[in-house]
Structure 1
Amino acid sequence: MILLTSTQCEQLLANGRQRDVDHIPVVKFFNPLGSGVWLATELDSDGDILFGLADLGFPELGSWSLGEMQAFRLPFDMRIERDLHFTGDFPISVWADMARRAGGIREAERILYSGARAPSTPTPKPTDTQSRKH
């Protein structure tokens, strides 16, 4: 499988030229045999270094090599794959916050697209003025 389409590559490169923007992830990669999910928002001009949210057991923002990802071999000669149905929909800061609170990108995705609350998110309590009846 090709990890990046030409359209995705162009968008990632364009985002890479605008570093101070809270970009929406362009592409999601995953390990089909276990843990490992990556949401990429930017690509350096060298065409190899991606930036985004990586989750190899704990979600964190950072950079990784596209070439290394393409070269990585899993058991049964499987490889890292691209989620063909992924739509980012939320800025990377929202993904990062939700993934940290939910325990990972996969859990964050379920919460974000179901509209459910993340674990440990307190329910807002009404203020005195909100709880008064007029």
Structure 2
Amino acid sequence: MSLVRRCSRTACGRPAVATLTYVYADSTAVLGPLATYAEPHCYDLCAEHSERLTAPRGWDVVRLADAGAPSRPSGDDLEALANAVREAARPHERIERSNGSQGGNPGGTNPSATPGQANGPTRRGHLRVLRSPES
């Protein structure tokens, strides 16, 4: 049977998700992931109380991210993904090459093309365009 630690705030019975520690010498409150073990000078907080945490005037609050928790993508991440999908969906101009037109590459094939793909690079950056068998 697993014992669930509860929020340290008075009259709050919600499960704890974060641990608050005060560094008095630096006037800093450190809020991080739930500690493995309950410590006597640390406070376990539920999600609501950890989000609303404020420190005394003149103190700093340091919020440490939980490395084990899945992070939510930022707006920049989503925009970069959308731009990459748009770029991959655009039809690329294929350059027709004739035999011997590429100096040291007899046969006129593109050495960077993946097997089964003829002329023209389809790899751009870290994304690769996969053509359907019908095209």
Q: Report TM bin, short chain.
A: under 0.3
TM-score of the pair, normalised by structure 2? 0.21
Where relative contact order (Cα < 8 A, 6+ residues apart) is larger, the structure is 1
Higher normalized helix content (fraction of residues): 1
Larger Rg: 2
TM-score of the pair, normalised by structure 1? 0.21
